[in-house]
Amino acid sequence: MFMVLLIPFKILQACLLPAPKGTSCANYARCVNQILQGANNIQLWLRIPLVKPDVDSMDEKSVTLDDSWESWNSFRLLCEHHSQLSVALDILSTLPSTNSLGRWFGEPVRAAILNTDCFLTNSHGCPCLSKRHQRLISGFFNHSIQIIISGISVHPKASMDANETSDINSQRHPLRPYLDYIGYLYQRMGPLPEQERFELGYRDFLQSPLQPLMDNLEAQTYETFEKDAVKYIQYQRAVSKALLDRVPDEEASAKIIVLMVVGAGRGPLVRASLQAAEETGRRLKVYAVEKNPNAVVTLHSLVKLEGWEDIVTIVSSDMRHWNAPEKADILVSELLGSFGDNELSPECLDGAQRFLKQDGISIPSSYTSFLQPVTASKLYNDVKAHKDLVHFETAYVVKLHNVARLSPSQPVFTFSHPKSPENESNQRYKKLSFEIPSDTGSAMNPILGIFVSKIDVVFSLITGFAGYFDATLYKDVHLGIEPSTATPNMFSPGSTLEVHFWRCCGSTKVWYEWGVTSPSSSPIHNSNGRSYWVGL
Last residue of a domain, one of 334, 350, 377: 334
Least confident of 282-286, 376-380, 444-448, 510-514: 444-448
Q: What is the CATH number of the domain that holds 48?
A: 3.20.20.150
Mean pLDDT along residues 104-123: 94
Q: Is 319 marked as a binding-site residue?
A: yes
Most confident of 29-33, 208-212, 441-445: 29-33
Judge whether 343 lies within some domain. Answer: no
Contacts of 137 (CB under 8 A, 6+ apart): 112, 114, 129, 147, 182, 185
Q: Does the annotation list 327 as a binding residue? A: no
Residue 350 within a domain: no
Do residue 101 and residue 181 come from a single domain?
A: yes
* Three-state secondary structure of 405-421: ECCCCEEEEEEECCCCC
Look at residue 190 in the predicted model and tell me its pLDDT: 86
As a whole-number percent, the residues of the chain with pLDDT over 70 amount to 86
Question: What is the structure's pLDDT at 85?
Answer: 96
Residue 96 — φ and ψ, nearest 5°?
Answer: -75, -170
Domain end call among 293, 319, 334: 334
- Specify the higher pLDDT residue, 356 or 40: 356
Angle between helices 69-78 and 26-38 (to 10 degrees): 50
Q: Give, in order, the Cα–Cα distances in Å from 193 to each of 143, 189, 272, 428.
A: 16, 12, 22, 37
Please indicate, yes or no, whether residues 330 and 371 belong to a single structural domain of this protein. Answer: no
Residues 390 and 443 in one domain: yes
Residues 227 and 193 in one domain: no
- pLDDT score recorded for residue 21: 85
Average pLDDT over residues 404-422: 92
183 and 239 housed in the same domain: no
334 is catalytic: yes
Looking at residue 64, what is its pLDDT?
40
Domain identity same for 185 and 289: no
With 90 as the cut, is the pLDDT of residue 456 above it?
Answer: no
Of 167, 197, 227, which marks where a domain is finished? 197
Q: What is the overall mean pLDDT for the chain?
A: 86
Q: pLDDT tens digit string along 229-263?
A: 889 999 999 999 999 999 999 999 999 999 999 99
Asked whether residue 143 is assigned to any structural domain, the reply reads yes
Are 320 and 420 in the same domain? no
CA angle 474, 479, 483 (to 5 degrees): 140
The sign of the CA dihedral 518, 519, 524, 525 is: negative
For residue 467, pLDDT over 60 is answered with yes
Name the active-site residue from 343, 393, 482, 513: 343
Mean pLDDT across 376-384:
91
Q: How many domains does the chain have?
A: 3
Residue 65: what pLDDT?
Answer: 45
Domain check: are 238 and 326 in the same one? yes
Q: What is the mean pLDDT of residues 427-438?
A: 92
pLDDT in tens, 140-182: 999 999 999 999 998 876 665 545 545 555 567 889 999 999 9
Q: Measuring CA to CA, which residue among 370, 339, 336 is closest to residue 487?
A: 370
The answer to whether position 351 is within a domain reads no
In a domain, 95, yes or no: yes
Q: Are residues 330 and 381 in the same domain?
A: no
Q: How far apart are CA 177 and CA 116, in angstroms?
A: 10
Q: Do residue 46 and residue 153 come from a single domain?
A: yes
Q: Which residues contact 297 (CB under 8 A, 6 or more apart)?
A: none
* 232 annotated ligand-binding residue: yes
Mean pLDDT, range 72-99, rounded to an integer: 92
> Is 318 flagged in the annotation as binding?
yes
Domain limits at 174? 14-197
Is residue 206 assigned to a domain? no
| Cα–Cα distance, 473 to 235 (Å, whole number) | 7
On whether 181 is known to bind a ligand per the annotation, the reply is no
Class of residue 445 by CB neighbours under 10 A (exposed 0-12, middle 13-18, buried 19+) = buried
> What is the rounded average pLDDT of the residues 98-112?
92
CB contact set of 14 (below 8 Å; sequence gap of 6+):
42, 43, 44, 45, 86, 110
3-state secondary structure of 393: coil
Q: What digits encode the pLDDT tens for the residues 346-356?
A: 999 999 999 99
CATH code for the domain in which residue 446 is found: 2.70.160.11
Residue 57, pLDDT above cutoff 90: no
Q: Of 60, 250, 334, 435, which one is the catalytic site residue?
A: 334
Cis amide linkage into residue 364, ω under 30° from 0: yes
> What does the alpha-carbon distance between residue 239 and residue 261 come to, in Å, rounded to a whole number?
11
Q: Catalytic: 343?
A: yes
Read off the pLDDT of each residue in 478-505 and give the average, rounded to a whole number: 73
Please check whether residues 178 and 100 belong to one and the same domain. yes
Average pLDDT over residues 397-408: 91
Residue 18 lies in a domain: yes
Taking residues 316-327, report their average pLDDT: 93
Q: Specify the DSSP class assigned to residue 340.
A: B
Residues 212-227 have a mean pLDDT of: 86
In whole angstroms, give the CA distance from residue 525 to residue 512.
9
Question: Residue 205 falls within a domain, yes or no?
Answer: no
Q: What is the pLDDT of residue 167?
A: 52
Residue 327 sits in the same domain as residue 379: no
Could you tell me the strand order of the sheet in which 85-91 lies? 14-17, 43-49, 85-91, 109-115, 146-150
Asked if residue 222 belongs to a known ligand binding site, the reply is yes
> What does the pLDDT read at residue 110?
96
Nearest to 270 by CA among 278, 189, 399, 19: 278
Residue 294 sits in a domain of what CATH number? 3.40.50.150
pLDDT at site 443: 36
